[in-house]
Every structure is written in structure tokens, then in C-alpha cells.
Amino acid sequence: MSAVPDGKKLVRSPSGLRMVPENGAFNSPFSLDEPQWVPDKECPRCMQCEAKFDFITRKHHCRRCGRCFCDKCCSKKLPLPRMCFVDPVRQCGECSAISQREGDFYDRQLKVLTGGGTFLVTLGSSEKSETMSCRLSNNHRYLFMDGDSSHFEVELSRITSMQVQTDGSTPGGSRACGMLLQYRPPGSQELQQLQLETTGDDRKGPAAWLAAMHKAAKLLYESRDQ
């Protein structure tokens, strides 16, 4: 184990080298824990094609699900940022397909979210709204809201529901025009509501930000179910 800058450390696990926060409490809300590997003695055959393991047909563990496979069924090595692996790791066919779909979020959508968007923000049942810049923090843990007269943040782990609203204005589909969040502020069990609405003539950028947040929500809730 060796220390690296920015509050992270390199850790070697049976699955590979990982770069994780020094304090586990600061993990990304999208992160997944490494799975427990199925013990070798419990998998005499490939868990997909049922090929019998022997001296020639070797067994391999998928780094995402932890199950046993032959080389043919677990040959792909792909990035797995949700588990903080430094290098691409071996994954079975089913898991590699999921990781490939998530790759778009990590390669493109996160950049949109950290870049931010401008929205008309209404907090709770207030009749007053404020134009604010909203962006995801670089560690993916907070939504930062910055306006001319107020500034606050929402921790993603405290968001209980996230609903994207659409206007149906684009040919052949709908465009995101707003988002309704519910979350629990620190030290409170009461739910707070936050409404974001696109504003002004240029709504393409904010709509893209909302669409990216919708994808983020899917990963967020999936990670909670693990």
C-alpha cells in the first residue's frame, strides 16, 4: 500500500490495484464494493457454459460479480471505475456489457455534471425562486448551488428521490426542462424539496445536465441496492 496525493491511496486487492479515498467515508456515492469471490471449491465448472475446470481449462473470477468462469466466458478486460480499479480488469460477458454502458457516464456525463448548468431554483414551499448555477462536485458527493444572494449544497447520499420533468417540445421525443429533488438536510429527518427549472432562451445545455443527472440517479440507486 502506498500513499498518493489528493487524499487517496493505492490499495492492492486480489482483484487488482485500486485507488481509493484515504477515508472510506468519502467514497463516491456511485461506487460499488468489490464482490466476494465464489470459493474455488464451490465452482468445479464454468458458471456460464458449464465447462469442467481442469489443468487445461482454468477458472477465472469476474472482478465485478465474483463468479467463476472459463477463459472463453470471462476474457474481456474493461475499466471498472465504480470499484476504483486503476487498470482494466477481467469481467464476464454480462458484467462487461454493463460496464460498457456505464463507460459513457464516466467518460462524458460526469464532465457535463461537474461543468454545471444554470437553473431557476425553488427551495421547499417558498414562493421565491433564484437563478443559480448548479454543478456536481469533483468528488461526486455534493450538488453545489450558487446564486447572487445565496449558496448551499446538497449531499447526494441524502437524496431520497429524483424526478426529471420533460416538456415534450422536441420532434420525436421530450426534452428535460426541470427536476424535482427530495433530500434530508444534515441533522434532520424531515424531507426538503428542491425544484430546478430551465430558464432563458438557451436551454440545450441545462437540458443535457438534467439528462446526465437522470443517468446519475440510476447509478446512485443501484449502488444503494448492492
Q: So what's the pLDDT on residue 170? A: 53
Average pLDDT over residues 19-35: 85
Where in the chain does DSSP place strands (E)? 2-4, 8-13, 16-21, 59-61, 68-70, 76-78, 89-91, 117-123, 129-136, 142-147, 151-155, 159-166, 176-183, 192-198
- Pairwise pLDDT comparison (89 vs 164), residue with the higher score: 89
Which of 130, 135, 136, 134 shows the shortest CA–CA distance to 150? 130
Q: Are residues 97 and 120 in the same domain?
A: no
Same domain membership, residue 129 and residue 144: yes
Let me know if residue 18 belongs to a domain: no
CATH classification of the domain holding 154? 2.30.29.160
Tens digit of each residue's pLDDT (9 = 90 or more) over 36-72 = 999 999 999 999 999 999 999 999 999 999 999 999 9
Residue 41: give its domain's CATH number.
3.30.40.10
Residues 100 and 126 in one domain: no
In a domain, 224, yes or no: no
Same domain assignment for residues 136 and 177: yes
Structural domains counted in the chain:
2
Q: What letters, b where the CB count within 10 A reaches 16 and e where it falls short, cover 145-183?
A: bebeeeeeebebebbeebebeeeeeeeeeebbbbbebeb
Residue with cell 437524496: 159
Q: What is the mean pLDDT of residues 209-217?
A: 92
pLDDT of residue 1: 39
Q: What is the pLDDT averaged over residues 170-180?
A: 74
Residues 128 and 183 in one domain: yes
d(CA 66, CA 53): 17
pLDDT of residue 99: 95
For the chain, the straight-line distance linking the first and the last C-alpha, in angstroms and rounded, comes to 26
Q: Is the pTM of this model over 0.75?
A: yes
* The pLDDT value given to residue 141: 92
Boundary of a domain, candidates 94, 112, 130: 112
The answer to the question of residue 151 being in a domain is yes
100 and 133 share a domain? no
For residue 184, tell me if it sits in a domain: yes
Same domain, 123 and 74: no
For residue 168, what are the domain limits? 116-199
Whether residue 96 sits in one domain with residue 123: no
Identify whether 92 is part of a domain: yes
In a domain, 208, yes or no: no
Q: Rounded to an integer, what distance in angstroms lies between the CA atom of residue 154 and that of residue 191?
A: 12
* One domain, residues 131 and 95: no
pLDDT band at residue 25 under the 50/70/90 scheme: low
Residues 145-170 have pLDDT tens digits of 999 989 999 999 899 999 988 876 55
Instruction: Label residue 2 by pLDDT band (50, 70, 90).
Output: very low
Domain end marker among 59, 91, 112? 112
In a domain, 219, yes or no: no
Q: Are residues 73 and 146 in the same domain?
A: no
What would the grid cell of residue 186 be? 444534515
% the chain with pLDDT above 70 = 92
Same domain, 122 and 136: yes
pLDDT at 194: 94
Does 56 map to a domain? yes
Query: pLDDT higher for 182 or 199?
Result: 182
Tell me what pLDDT residue 226 has.
Answer: 59
pLDDT(100) > 90 = yes
Residue 50 CB-half CA count within 13 A: 0
Least reliable range by pLDDT among 37-46, 135-144, 196-205: 196-205
Same domain, 94 and 134: no
Band (pLDDT 50/70/90 cuts) for residue 26 is confident
